[in-house]
Amino acid sequence: MNDAERNSADDAVERVLRGAETKAGLTRFGSDVAEALMAPETTPGADSDTDGEQYDREARASLRRVGGLSTELEDVTEVEYRQLRLENVVLIGVYSQGSQDEAENSMRELAALAETAGARVLDGVLQRRPHPDPSTYLGRGKVEELRHIVASLGADTVVADTELAPSQRRALEDAIKVKVIDRTAVILDIFSQHAKSREGKAQVELAQLEYLLPRLRGWGESMSRQAGGQVGGAGAGMGSRGPGETKIELDRRRIHSRMAKLRKQITAMKPAREAKRANRKRNAVPSVAIAGYTNAGKSSLLNRITGAGVLVENALFATLDATVRRNTTADGRVYTIADTVGFVRNLPHQLVEAFRSTLEEVGDSDLIVHVVDAAHPDPAGQIATVRDVIGEVGARDIPELIVFNKADLVTPEERLVLRGLEPGAIFASARTGEGIPEVLEAIARMLPDPAVEIDLLVPYDRGDVVSTLHETGRVLSIEYDEDGTRVRALASPELAGQLEEFAAAAASA
């Protein structure tokens, strides 16, 4: 291990921490973090432009690209940045007997994820075996095949469809000679590009560091192995406390302290969120949460419904922060409607916390509009995944309205199948507007009614009371008397309490 190597390793961790602090949106797993994760000898910069085979490890390591590049990039716009960082990837997956369809769907989803992250997918390779190989993920023979595929396509990155153990990743990189990342890294990368709120950014950075930590150890092992080799048997004590080891300790401490700081920040943000929610509860405005699998068209549907300018992208995970809008039913009742982050199968456990803020929105809602992509190859699987997660956040008892979106893309036969799957569902298209009136009608019908029935006599100069009832209660009848407006309505207990004087007036009139 030479000085240049040590310095650039230094820079990599430096960049992760600094990049995430200053520009969370630009911290990419495909680049900065992955570089930090990588054993120095397998950095693509060392291999891609030269024939790495000609050099021994140490020589190649000395060709390794050093950190300056990413600092230069910090000034360019995100679009340019993403173009510059476009990677050419090959996907790999392992599936066991009898679940080929599922494996292929999972690969398609991984391809969509990779594209969302800004990569170009060149190919995908699936291997059928009972379990992934513990040392190289794919079996030995397939690894060799993969090496040829990667070389002939000119791919620079391989993405595995599950989470790889740090040692598997290293072994694969050694064999294939390009960067290897896993599904979790891709999702983290997307999250870091899309998190917009302070809380979202903090949650994502925390998840990134959590992911980084055990892999840092893997990296440390490879470094101390090298150090041990250099020092030899006589200096075993020194070798085991070599520079690499100390550096890892230092990085680990810095990461731990950064994580502690982030956790504190996140805890501090929670009260603000809860206050906001409590406020909504106090006003007794019913809330609707739009939930569903990623890319189902939730944001598009919300746009159609409310004309809200929520970001829509043909990319998974376009939405990372809950977006709440206000809407009214045809009969004038006000409700809030919130967009949420898309669900994904096998959500990496580090990311569950990053989802919490939007999942809470779902758990606290009065109605869940569950949007399903009608054109997806496996709608039943998607519905099941979403319902599982809904159950996990304690929202199982909340009424659910299934909307098959993208109805413009399905044939009448496919509709029949979907109808059989979910007889109560509504077919809609955020693109053509089909079914949107039915969705609005169903929301109005399924919103909970306020619980208390009240009779009021409201003086004519208190028109505000009548409009409040229209907005937050349900007006059953209305008559105009000479001494005021007589209203029979359903209202929340809170509102009924506030309007007691008018109830008394009605009773004594």
Ligand X SMILES: Nc1nc2c(ncn2[C@@H]2O[C@H](COP(=O)(O)OP(=O)(O)OP(=O)(O)O)[C@@H](O)[C@H]2O)c(=O)[nH]1
Please select the residue that binds ligand X; options are 430, 465, 466, 506, rule is CB under 6 A: 430
Contacts of 44 (CB under 8 A, 6+ apart): 156, 157, 178, 179
Pick from Mg ion, ligand X, none: which does 295 bind, CB < 5 to 8 A by kind?
ligand X
Candidate segments 135-143, 210-218, 296-304, 414-422, binder of Mg ion by CB under 5 A: 296-304
297's torsion region: left (phi>0), alpha (psi -120 to 50) or beta? left
346's torsion region: left (phi>0), alpha (psi -120 to 50) or beta? left
Instruction: Establish if 340 lies at the interface with Mg ion (CB under 5 A).
Output: no
Nearer to ligand X, 316 or 506 (CB): 316
Nearest to 184 by CA among 220, 155, 215, 160: 160
Establish whether 19 is an annotated binding residue: no
Write the DSSP assignment of 92-136 as a string of letters.
Answer: EEEE-TT-HHHHHHHHHHHHHHHHHTT-EEEEEEEEE-SS-BTTT
Pick from Mg ion, ligand X, none: which does 314 bind, CB < 5 to 8 A by kind?
ligand X
Write the DSSP assignment of 143-201 as a string of letters.
Answer: HHHHHHHHHHHT--EEEESSPPPHHHHHHHHHHH-SEEEEHHHHHHHHHHHH--SHHHH
Are 46 and 64 contacting, i.e. CB atoms less than 8 angstroms apart? yes
How many whole angstroms from its chain centre is CA 345? 11
What the block records as the tokens of 175 is: 């064999």
Please select the residue that binds Mg ion; options are 299, 336, 350, 357, rule is CB under 5 A: 299
CB of 301 to ligand X, least distance (A): 7
Going by their DSSP bridges, the two strands 157-160 and 179-182 should be labelled as: parallel
**HSE (side-chain half, CA atoms, 13 Å) at 483:** 7
Establish whether 294 is an annotated binding residue: yes
Please select the residue that binds Mg ion; options are 27, 136, 162, 319, rule is CB under 5 A: 319
Q: Is the dihedral of CA 390, 355, 342, 279 positive or negative?
A: positive
Using CB under 6 A as the binding criterion, the count of chain residues that bind ligand X stands at 23
Q: Which of residues 259-298 bind ligand X (CB under 6 A)?
A: 292, 294-298
Establish whether 319 is an annotated binding residue: yes
Nearest to 295 by CA among 113, 419, 162, 120: 113
Pick from Mg ion, ligand X, none: which does 485 bind, CB < 5 to 8 A by kind?
none
Candidate segments 1-9, 377-385, 403-411, 498-506, binder of ligand X by CB under 6 A: 403-411
CB of 316 to Mg ion, least distance (A): 9
Candidate segments 221-229, 310-318, 360-368, 456-464, binder of Mg ion by CB under 5 A: 310-318
CB of 321 to ligand X, least distance (A): 10
Pattern 410-449, Mg ion, x by CB under 5 A: ----------------------------------------
Write the DSSP assignment of 375-429 as a string of letters.
Answer: TSS-HHHHHHHHHHHHHHTT-TTS-EEEEEE-GGGS-HHHHHHHHHH-TT-EE--
Nearer to Mg ion, 43 or 295 (CB): 295
Pick from Mg ion, ligand X, none: which does 296 bind, CB < 5 to 8 A by kind?
ligand X
Calpha distance 310→146 (Å, rounded): 41
Residue 8 is inside which H or E element, if any?
helix 3-22
Candidate segments 14-22, 25-33, 223-231, 319-327, binder of Mg ion by CB under 5 A: 319-327
CB of 294 to ligand X, least distance (A): 4
Nearer to Mg ion, 180 or 291 (CB): 291
Calpha distance 325→367 (Å, rounded): 14
Q: Which of residues 300-329 bind ligand X (CB under 6 A)?
A: 300, 312-314, 316-319
Establish whether 77 is an annotated binding residue: no
Establish whether 56 is an annotated binding residue: no
How many whole angstroms from its chain centre is CA 507? 55
Please select the residue that binds Mg ion; options are 111, 212, 318, 496, rule is CB under 5 A: 318
Calpha distance 235→164 (Å, rounded): 34
CB of 319 to ligand X, least distance (A): 3
Q: What are phi and psi of 211, to 5 degrees?
A: -70, -40
Task: State the residues that interact with Mg ion by CB under 5 A.
Answer: 298-299, 318-319
Binding residues for Mg(2+): 299, 319
Binding residues: 292-299, 317-321, 339-342, 405-408, 429-431
Binding residues for GTP: 292-299, 317-321, 339-342, 405-408, 429-431
Task: State the residues that interact with ligand X by CB under 6 A.
Answer: 292, 294-300, 312-314, 316-319, 342, 405-406, 408-409, 429-431
